[in-house]
Amino acid sequence: MMLSDEQIKNLLNDIEADNVERTVSTNKTDKFCEAICAFANDMPGHGTSGYLIIGSNDKTGAIAGIEITDTLLQNLASYRDSGQIVPLPSLTVQKRSFPEGDIAVLEVKPSDMPPVRYRGRAWIRVGPRRSIATEQEERILTERRIHKAKSFDMQACPTCGYEQIVNSFFHDYRNMAIAPEVIEDNNRDMYRQLAALGFLDMNHKCLTSAGALLFSETPQNYIPGAYIQYACFIGKGLESEVIDERIFSSDLRSMLYELDIFLKSLFSSHPVPVSALREKHLKTYPNWAIRELLMNAVMHRDYQSNAPIRFYKYADRIVIQNPGGLFGAATDFPNQNDYRNPKIAEAMKILGYVNRFGRGIATLQDILKKNGNQPAEFIVNQPNYFMATVRGIS
């Protein structure tokens, strides 16, 4: 809901408020991201938005009269999808004009999945200032998340108890997710660390579904459909002979690694004449495009389904089908993005299999075009599955 001019003026004048931060800086990325993280965590528990106002003096609230450019507004909006703040924050940016000058107002809604971290640190508001959350404060945020958990990947997986945890899997992930100095100062045992990261439900004494996928040796024992089925057909249909097939079915990190290695070896290149004296090498399918579709399938699939992701290679095309139709705002595909599995999306970013959020389809189509492929085709109007098809080049 857009604030009125009077409401904004009140925020500017209330210099002791814990739900607003003002600055005249326009290029302090760390400062802005820490503020977004702190408002998303909503440590005071207001349940209302926090506001970062750019173009206002922090001590007096006076509008400074700086220039608010379109580039600045775009940069502020890009912090949501940069992958540096996880889980993804919900924010909006707008420019507002007053007689004294222009300001940029960045509104951040409280997260349903705290603690939210920027570069491995959970920031919070303590009165009018910002700080890194203590162990006790993180525990409070974790308890709020358990209470609010809505997505399947954040819910308890009762059959995957503490004894199923592979310690080394978690330690490797933790070292990627949390800043080193935070780990060094942390006296919590592994179970409380898992809980703080959203992978363990201490009330039910078990991993969450995301925890089972990442930190148990055989996640398919608890989430049966959590694997990828690959098949290569000699012809153009399911009735043709299968010449290669395999299953990718280990913990999520190992499965993604094995899939990455497999894709690099799967597609060969062939020469295409450019001129009488020169030729260039093109691949039937660009690796990155197929990888992007598979990573999206892993991230967005419905893990409550017993069906696997199907990765089928035919003589003329590749078809990737994952269980679960479009979710939430993503029904306006590809213009809007949404996350059925926000904790899994966060983990894939931390593990390095996702660079940014919400950019994949446009980049995918551009790569296919440059390689000489037709645009990827999507079946998006089915409630139970999502299917992508990429045609090869001859």
| 72, amino acid identity | L
Of the candidates 242, 238, 283, 243, which has an alpha carbon nearest to the alpha carbon of residue 263?
283
Please give the pLDDT value at position 280: 61
- Digit-by-digit pLDDT tens for the chain (394 residues) are 578 899 999 989 888 888 999 999 988 999 999 999 999 999 988 889 999 999 999 888 899 999 999 999 999 998 888 888 988 888 999 999 999 999 999 999 998 888 999 988 999 998 888 999 988 888 888 878 766 767 899 999 999 999 999 999 999 999 998 888 887 777 788 998 999 888 999 888 999 999 999 999 899 999 999 999 999 999 999 999 999 999 999 999 999 999 999 998 887 665 555 555 565 667 889 999 999 999 999 999 999 999 999 999 999 999 999 999 888 766 778 777 778 898 999 999 999 988 766 667 888 999 999 988 999 999 988 889 999 999 998 7
CB proximity list for 129: less than 8 A, separation 6 or greater:
none
Architecture of 228-391 per CATH? Answer: 2-Layer Sandwich (3.30)
Residue type, 81: D
Residues of the chain with CATH 3.30.565.60: 228-391
351, 176 Cβ separation under 8 angstroms: yes
Instruction: Quote the pLDDT of residue 1.
Output: 58
Q: Please count the residues of the chain.
A: 394
Report d(CA 50, CA 37) in Å as an integer: 10
Give the pair of three-digit tokens for residue 37.
Answer: 């993280």
Helix or strand run (H / E) with residue 103 = strand 101-109
Sequence-ordered list of residues with C-beta below 8 angstroms from that of 256, at least 6 positions apart, any chain: 295, 298, 348, 351, 353
Domain with CATH 3.30.950.30 in the chain: 5-132
Q: How far is CA 115 from CA 60, 188, 282, in A?
A: 31, 16, 45
Owner of token pair 């358990």 = 146
CA distance 376 to 318: 10
Query: Which CATH superfamily includes the segment(s) 5-132?
Result: Schlafen, AAA domain (3.30.950.30)
Query: What pLDDT is stored for residue 24 in this prediction?
Result: 92
